[in-house]
Amino acid sequence: MNTPKKWEKNWFEPLALSEKNSEVLAPQKGYWKDAWIRFKSNKGALIGLILIVLLLLIAFIGPLFNEHNYHSQNLTITNQESSGDHYLGTDSLGRDLWQRVWYGAKVSLLIAFIAAFLDVVIGVTFGGISGYFGGRVDAIMQRILEIMYSIPNLVIIILLMMYLEPGVLPIAVALSFTGWVPMARIVRAQILKLKTQEYVLAARTMGASHYRILFKHLIPNVMGPIIIAVTFSIPSAIFFEAFLSFIGLGLRPPSASLGILVSDGYRTLQLFPFQLFWPALVLCIIMLSFNLIGDGMRDALDPKMKK
Amino acid sequence: MKPILEVSDLHVSFRSQDTEVKAIRGVDFTVGEGEVVAFVGESGSGKSVTFQTVMRLIPQPPAKIDKGKVLYGGRDLTKLSEIEMQKIRGKEIAMIFQDPMTSLNPTIRIGNQISESLIKHQKLSAKEAKERAIELLKIVGIPSPSERVEQFPHQFSGGMRQRAMIAMALACSPKLLIADEPTTALDVTIQAQIIDLLKNLQTKTGSSIVFITHDLGVVAEIADRVAVMYAGKIVESGTLDEIFYNPQHPYTWGLLQSMPKLDQNRDQELASIPGSCPSLVNPPAGCPFTGRCPHAMKICQEEMPEVTKSSSSHQVACWLQHPNAPEVKSPIEPERRWVD
Amino acid sequence: MTEPILKVKGLEKHFQLDRNRVLKAVDGISFEVMPGETFGLVGESGCGKSTAGRTIINLYDATNGEVLFEGKNIHKLRGKNQKKFRRDMQMIFQDPYASLNPRKTVMDIIAEGLDIHELSNGKSRQEIVCELLETVGLNKSHATRYPHEFSGGQRQRIGIARALAMEPKFIIADEPISALDVSVQAQVVNLMRKLQKEKGLTYLFIAHDLSMVKYISDRVGVMYLGKMAELADSDALYSEPLHPYTQGLLSTAPIPDPIQAKEREKIRIKGEIPSPLNPPSGCRFRTRCPHAMSVCAQVEPIWQEAKPNHWVACHLYSNSNPQ
């Protein structure tokens, strides 16, 4: 055998115990930190996130740039093209479009967030209880879900909108009236899978209550799929709101949402296309960004689903 | 013995976004005609990856063959195209896997799965292939094979599925059979049956078998030669008797001692190896076993020991073999130590 | 003579799969465990050993029979007594990857029992966890880390620390080493034996690996298809197995010694375990037994003490059948 090139005298002396670092742990990396690293490496998702942040910033700061507001009419300056005073022009009642687009964006996002929040609260509770307790409870709750699923949601929403006063909260409630069903299914499927895991059994052998097992052990482990579902349900809520407004079941004037602006712009499309273009552009950016973020979230939080 | 498979200086790594795992770090070995070679090692030691590389079954990317040759019948398998490889897989070299549940296609009848390769490689007609399939099921000890051939995998028990897998692997009489932990998922009584079956088939057909396992007890039952793998390298290899009765590497000592024997004295503590396998993301420069080795020296941290031969068949990669190293007595007495 | 800490009497656990099918996972087993001893339970997959363990710790209700822990039927405990039982008996699980909640730090995992029973908080909680980590051979700096940063052997140590936090008297270890690498198995077994000596623990050690069970246990019960086939001191079971199934298990257990492997008598058990949904009549082992007789198909062998402290259920040792 060849002697090592860098020959040293003490090469063959035994190694002191402290010099053997036998168990080096993997670098400390939390679940969320790890997910963030994966999310960052997805360019589309990052662009989506930046777009949404920019959009929110402008929606809040933008209206401060000129003196107008979203509801004051001025019939002497109807249907103007963009100018130094009215950045995006005015609509058929002389309202400033810049103000209205950002106001509408805020309202649309607000409705979507409330609807998504309600989806999570109802869906997680329902799905969690159904999956965790199983047996007869699950059988009954599943039938309820199937009934909810079998009624076209558009019909329910339209019927509800006829009863409820049009407003931000009622629209959100109507949207989540059927919107929680997919969330409940996702959560139930996950809980069913997780509840036989040994760490749940371990908690049970120590006498943990159902509440503790469900909310301290199971739900935190379903957070990934829940967040993914939420990021996809937000654009669908925005889209649904726009649709409702478009067919005249949305907010009442002078309030505005992106859907109402699109609907208003559509009426004057041939003469003044810019009135449709701006709200539609903002709507598209929001939808696209949330879908990009959702894709990124799925890859980041649930790496097994990739490929 | 004429070698049938020669692997030299094989390096394989797996790449993901920001890390590179060096799974195989320079592996050399040969498999002779008609011999049974066991590859022993813990999870992550690279024993399965080595033979997935030989069969070219590792997905590339993320895996990458960085270096090395896999010579089979005068050809370097790492250089063959996928089409040429398909002619070798199943016909020349066949493989059976650990989990017979997932390695059989649940939607295809057992008979059709066996005849598939017969029709492809041996150009048999469908009818001939089915007859041969029944014959094969009979050889591997499946009762009433002519009915079984029509059944689906889920109608087979675990042991029966593994037998069917073996029948599939034997279909084209391969010269080399790679068995990747074929008995790990099975109960001991079934494990014994499968080992007996493999041994009998091997004596009958004279083909070579590579047996990958983590269980030294199984190795003792079946192997002619043994290679001990650790952290992507072969640390010791030799004949069955050399490894069990005259092992040279401290890792082999530890492995042999940490298994309780059926007649183990219960008042005695089991000898255990402290710590766990090193990460292969940043493999140590020196011997990978240094951190867990009771005889580690300064040099072990710095340089990988070279392979020394202590007999024509026995090779060890350990600095203790160096003439300057202190004398360390093997805790395993070089005799029939477990026999009363 | 001391009283047994655990008495299992005719324990049955049946699962109703659907209207017509009942899985009799455990079908009448009886044994006693003395304080401070290790009782091993071995058998092949599907023999009901894990179900038995889970019924004994009251994860499942018993279908029939009873489990007495310190004289009290554990399936009938309520209130304070139940809480006490939940502390006195703990479990160590098989899969070191599934048995620790991936979203909790090691600190929270080990302190789980303390939190549930409101035993301590704040500083003393932290001290207890650090002490436990050192007891099982880990470092207290590990407390803030997450399970996935540890190796399999280290995770199993965390699982042991979690069980120890409740200062239990009795630990059920359900295949605690079968998912670990060979070189790590010995570490965990040595740790468990050390803890037993220091803390006077009683173990129910469930496994399929006969050589490891034999090494760690004082007495061993062999299960087959929901029934106990043989029960004896581990040395007696090894030197003089009575039941043909035990004989077969011993002669097929892999031993890391080529010469002994070649020389030993080979008793091969043919065939495979029948479905527990439809077990054979009479003796359940008769379909695979090399000594099966006509009586085996008709009469179920009784559970009897064939030799002092050596119990077996087999017609070869029935009084009516001198053989």
A82 Cβ partners below 8 Å, 6+ apart? A88, A89, A274
CA-CA distance, C15 to C48, in Å (whole number)? 12
Burial B175-213 (b: 16+ CB within 10 A, else e): bbbbbbbbbebbbbbbbbbbbbbbeebbeebebbbbbbb
CA-CA distance, C172 to C74, in Å (whole number)? 15
Compare CB distances from A199 to C86, C90, C98 and report the shortest one's residue: C98
Contact C186 B273 (CB under 8 A): yes
pLDDT of residue B338: 44
Q: What angle do CA A30, C92, B101 make, to 5 degrees?
A: 80
CA distances from C39 to A98, C182, C219, C267 (A): 79, 22, 5, 26
Q: Give how far B125 is from chain C: nearest CA, Å.
A: 33
Taking alpha carbons only, the member of A235, A230, A224 closest to residue A289 is A235
Q: Is C112 on the interface with A (CB under 8 A)?
A: yes
pLDDT over 90 at C223, yes or no = yes
Question: What are the per-10-residue average pLDDT scores of chain B (340 residues)?
Answer: 87 82 88 92 87 86 85 86 85 84 82 84 84 86 85 83 85 87 83 87 89 90 92 91 88 86 77 79 83 83 84 87 78 54
Checking DSSP bridges between strand B176-180 and strand B208-213, what pairing results, if any? Answer: parallel
CA-CA distance, C110 to C92, in Å (whole number)? 12
pTM of the model: 0.84
Contact C190 B190 (CB under 8 A): no
Largest CA distance in chain B: 68
- Residue B104, sorted as left (phi over 0), alpha (psi -120 to 50) or beta, turns out to be beta
Within chain C, strands assigned E span 6-16, 22-33, 38-42, 64-69, 72-73, 89-92, 170-174, 202-207, 219-224, 227-233, 304-307, 310-312
Q: Give how far C157 is from chain B: nearest CA, Å.
A: 12
Burial of A238 (0-12, 13-18, 19+ CB in 10 A): buried
End-to-end CA distance of chain B: 35
Compare CB distances from C100 to A30, A199, A223 and report the shortest one's residue: A199
Domain C6-317 has CATH 3.40.50.300: yes
With contact defined as beta carbons under 8 Å apart, do C110 and C126 qualify? no
Question: What chains are in contact with A, requiring at least 3 Cβ pairs below 8 Å?
Answer: B, C
Q: Is B309 on the interface with C (CB under 8 A)?
A: no
3-state secondary structure of C7: strand
Q: Give how far A231 is from chain B: nearest CA, Å.
A: 25
Compare CB distances from B17 to A13, A23, A41 and report the shortest one's residue: A41
Structure tokens at A27: 């670098």
3-state secondary structure of C244: helix
CA-CA distance, B81 to B78, in Å (whole number)? 9
Residues of C in contact with B215 (CB under 8 A): 182, 254
Contact A201 C54 (CB under 8 A): yes
Contact A19 B299 (CB under 8 A): no
Range scoring the smallest mean pLDDT among A38-42, B327-331, C39-43, C94-98 = B327-331
- pLDDT-derived band at A8 (thresholds 50, 70, 90) equals low
Contact C94 A206 (CB under 8 A): no
Residues of A in contact with C117 (CB under 8 A): 206-207
Phi, psi of B70 (to 5 degrees): -125, 100
Q: Is A203 on the interface with C (CB under 8 A)?
A: yes
With contact defined as beta carbons under 8 Å apart, do C229 and C313 qualify? yes
pLDDT tens sequence across C147-178: 888 888 889 999 999 999 989 999 999 999 88
CA-CA distance, C321 to A77, in Å (whole number)? 113
Structure tokens at B274: 């402290």
Residues A226-247: what's their mean pLDDT? 86
**Chain C residue with minimal CA distance to A24?**
C150
pLDDT over 90 at C202, yes or no = yes
DSSP-derived secondary structure letter, B79: G
CA distances from A217 to A29, A56, A199, C213 (A): 20, 34, 8, 33
Range scoring the smallest mean pLDDT among A24-38, A257-271, C31-45, C94-108 = A24-38
Residues of B in contact with A14 (CB under 8 A): 295-297, 326
- pLDDT-derived band at A305 (thresholds 50, 70, 90) equals very low
The helix (run of H) or strand (run of E) holding residue B237 is strand B233-239
3-state secondary structure of B113: helix
More confident residue, A95 or C74: C74
CA-CA distance, B19 to B13, in Å (whole number)? 10
Contact C99 A198 (CB under 8 A): yes
pLDDT over 70 at C105, yes or no = yes
pLDDT of residue B234: 92
Compare CB distances from A206 to C95, C113, C146 and report the shortest one's residue: C113
Q: Give how far C114 is from chain A: nearest CA, Å.
A: 9
Contact A20 B296 (CB under 8 A): yes
With contact defined as beta carbons under 8 Å apart, do C221 and C311 qualify? no
Domain boundaries, chain A: 43-62+86-305
Compare CB distances from B324 to A12, A15, A37 and report the shortest one's residue: A12
With contact defined as beta carbons under 8 Å apart, do A92 and A79 qualify? yes
Give one DSSP letter per residue of A147-173, joined into a string: HHHHS-HHHHHHHHHHHSPPSHHHHHH
Percent of chain C with pLDDT over 70: 98
Compare CB distances from C59 to A25, A204, A220 and report the shortest one's residue: A204
CA-CA distance, C251 to C261, in Å (whole number)? 9
Compare CB distances from B275 to A11, A13, A23 and report the shortest one's residue: A23
Size of interface A-C (CB pairs under 8 A): 77
Checking DSSP bridges between strand B307-309 and strand B315-317, what pairing results, if any? Answer: antiparallel
CATH number of A43-62+86-305: 1.10.3720.10
The residue type of A159 is L
3-state secondary structure of A104: helix
The residue type of B319 is W
Tell me the H-state helices in A26-76: 31-40, 43-61
DSSP-derived secondary structure letter, B259: S
Whether the predicted interface score ipTM is above 0.90: no
Burial of C300 (0-12, 13-18, 19+ CB in 10 A): middle
CA-CA distance, A272 to A63, in Å (whole number)? 22
Burial of B2 (0-12, 13-18, 19+ CB in 10 A): exposed
Taking alpha carbons only, the member of B337, B206, B326 closest to residue B264 is B337
Contact C93 A220 (CB under 8 A): no
Residues of B in contact with A24 (CB under 8 A): 278-279
Residues C287-305: what's their mean pLDDT? 89
Phi, psi of C284 (to 5 degrees): -70, -20
Contact B274 A4 (CB under 8 A): no
The helix (run of H) or strand (run of E) holding residue B10 is strand B3-15
CA atoms within 13 A on the CB side of B302: 15
CA-CA distance, C253 to C251, in Å (whole number)? 6
Structure tokens at C322: 């001198």
Contact A12 B303 (CB under 8 A): no
Taking alpha carbons only, the member of A22, C159, C87 closest to residue B293 is A22
